[in-house]
Each structure stands twice: as C-alpha cells, then as structure tokens.
Amino acid sequence: MRTIAQRTEKKLLQGLNVFDVYEGDRLEAGKKSYSVSFTLQDPTQTLTDQAIDQTMQRFIQQFEKQAGALIRK
C-alpha cells in the first residue's frame, strides 16, 4: 500500500498511516478492510480542496488497479 501511494504521489505525500485492519464475518473469506490516513503537504503553497481531491482520486484509481482494492465511498 505504501509503495503504491509513494509511486502515485511523490511530491505531496508526507506520510501514510494504517490505523485499523478488520477481518471478520462481515467480509468475504480472505478479505481485509484497511483504514488509512494520508498526510499531504506542499512546501511551496497551501493545498486547495481541489488539489487534495485530485490526489485522493489518483490514490483510489491506483489502489483499485494495482492492488484490486474495493474502495468504500
């Protein structure tokens, strides 16, 4: 997960934290649910909502493509 995020956004990604992993009867066998937080920072300017949204969309696309993730929205 960290590798995909770092490849997707080298400039703004300052940190990634997996703070919960769930495995249980609410998920298909062999599946896991991860809760993740991202720290984004641009040292040259204040990030706008639009820039953050675009970055998060790129993360979602790459997690789905490269890891087969299903993103809950």
List the CATH number of the domain containing 34.
3.30.70.380
pLDDT tens digits, 54-70: 999 999 999 999 999 98
Mean residue pLDDT across the chain: 94
Higher pLDDT, 43 or 25: 43
Q: pTM to 2 decimals?
A: 0.86
Greatest alpha-carbon pair distance for the chain in Å reads 46
Report the chain's terminal Cα–Cα distance, integer Å. 18
Number of domains in the chain: 1
Full domain range(s) for residue 14: 2-67
Q: How many other C-beta atoms are found inside a 10 Å radius of the C-beta of residue 12? A: 16
